[in-house]
Amino acid sequence: MSKLVENRGLWSSLVSQDDDAEIGVLGVPFDNAVSWRGGTRHAPQRIRSITPFLAFVTEEGLTLKVRVKDYGDMESDLNWERFFEATEASAAEIINGKHKLAFFLGGDHSVGIPLFKAFAKSFQGPVGYIQFDSHPDLADYHEGHAWSHANTARRNLEQPNFSPFHLAFVGLRSFLTEELDYYAAHPEIGWHTARSVYRRGIEAVARDVIAQMKGVEAVYMSLDIDGIDPSCTPGTGTPEHGGPSTRECLEFLRLIFAELPIRAMDIVEVSPPLDISDVTSLAALKVMYEVFGFVQEKKE
């Protein structure tokens, strides 16, 4: 068999059944919680489907050797509460396993609620949470729900070993009044707007986030694809202009993965039906492969 064919499997043939594979992947195809346009339930399968066509070499020329154990997708369930409980249980198994990094693919951002719950419960000490997003998702209730995609960070703060002191946002540029009131009451939150990224540079922002996470046992990194400017990632339900580029997102991730104990990450809000030439799914996959490289470099 030629080498080219060999590399054209799922996850570019990085896929493994080993329980101690460096990366554990779980898809959470759920989009019942969006306020406007959906389609994010198609993202995990769409992203997987293009994995054979992206080189398994990082942008700095590192050939990926990490093993990826793909657990598949959560089964859909029309009972929202039961679906979140099942998602939490599966996520806990992956986080508590032997992987260096648990990688979750949404779904809308509401799936981050059971995922982070599983994460926080997996550690005794304080945990950190970084959200790269145009929105802070700090609403207590949104459109009659406490578990919508606008409530994620607010629900996460209900975990006893997580506080606003270890909560950081990057790329913010769209707010509900209630969210601004919450920030005014909790100025300890790391609140980095898209404009601040533009004016200060992504490295200065990353340094602040790294300093803020000092003392945490583990960090969860959530990437809402609408945190990136829609010129780069148009395939999402609530695009917000004026954001950082995919380039800046990659730089940010490179800096924080080098310094922080990041044990779980998600990419949410990718909507293949709203996408153009798969560029948004490709951005998600690009980010994944670069992150796999950061995990590999840390090990080497």
Interface with Mn ion by CB under 5 A: which residues? Answer: 133, 135, 224, 226
Identify residue 128 by its one-letter amino acid code: G
Cα–Cα distances (Å) from 240 to 117, 175, 194, 202, 254, in that order, read: 27, 11, 10, 18, 24
Which single residue is written with the structure tokens 């153009």? 276
The contacts of residue 16 (CB under 8 Å, 6+ apart) are 67, 68, 69
* Distance linking the first and last C-alpha atoms of the chain: 30
Nearer to Mn ion, 151 or 212 (CB): 151
* Nearest distance in Å: CB 135, Mn ion: 4
* Residue 178: CB minimum distance to Mn ion, A: 16
- Is 22 or 275 the residue whose CB approaches Mn ion more closely? 275
E strand segments, 110-261: 127-132, 167-172, 190-193, 218-224
Count of Cβ atoms closer than 10 Å to residue 144 Cβ: 6
CB of 179 to Mn ion, least distance (A): 12
**Of 22 and 108, which CB lies nearer to Mn ion in the complex structure?**
108
* Residue nearer to Mn ion on the CB measure, 73 or 133: 133
Nearer to Mn ion, 216 or 270 (CB): 270
Provide, rounded to whole angstroms, the least separation between the CB of residue 66 and Mn ion.
28
Contact predicate 58/64, CB 8 Å:
yes
Q: Round to whole Å and give the CA distance between 248 and 252.
A: 6
Amino acid at 211: A
Q: Which residues contact 300 (CB under 8 A, 6 or more apart)?
A: none
- DSSP reduced 3-state for 110: helix
Q: Which is nearer to Mn ion, 24 or 237 (CB)?
A: 237
User: Apex CA 236: angle with CA 263 and CA 293, to 5°?
Assistant: 35
How many Å apart are CA 240 and CA 226, to the nearest integer?
Answer: 7
* Least Å from the CB of residue 195 to Mn ion: 16
Least distance to Mn ion from the beta carbon of 40, Å? 11
- In the complex, least distance from residue 136 CB atom to Mn ion, rounded to whole angstroms: 9
Residue 65 φ then ψ, to 5°:
-125, -5
Query: Which of 90, 246 has the CB closer to Mn ion?
Result: 246
β-strand pairing of 23-28 with 190-193: unpaired
Q: How far is the CB of 134 from Mn ion (least distance, A)?
A: 5
Closer CB to Mn ion, 94 or 283, in the complex? 283
> Computed from CA positions of residues 84, 257, 166, 191, in that sequence, does the dihedral angle turn out positive or negative?
negative
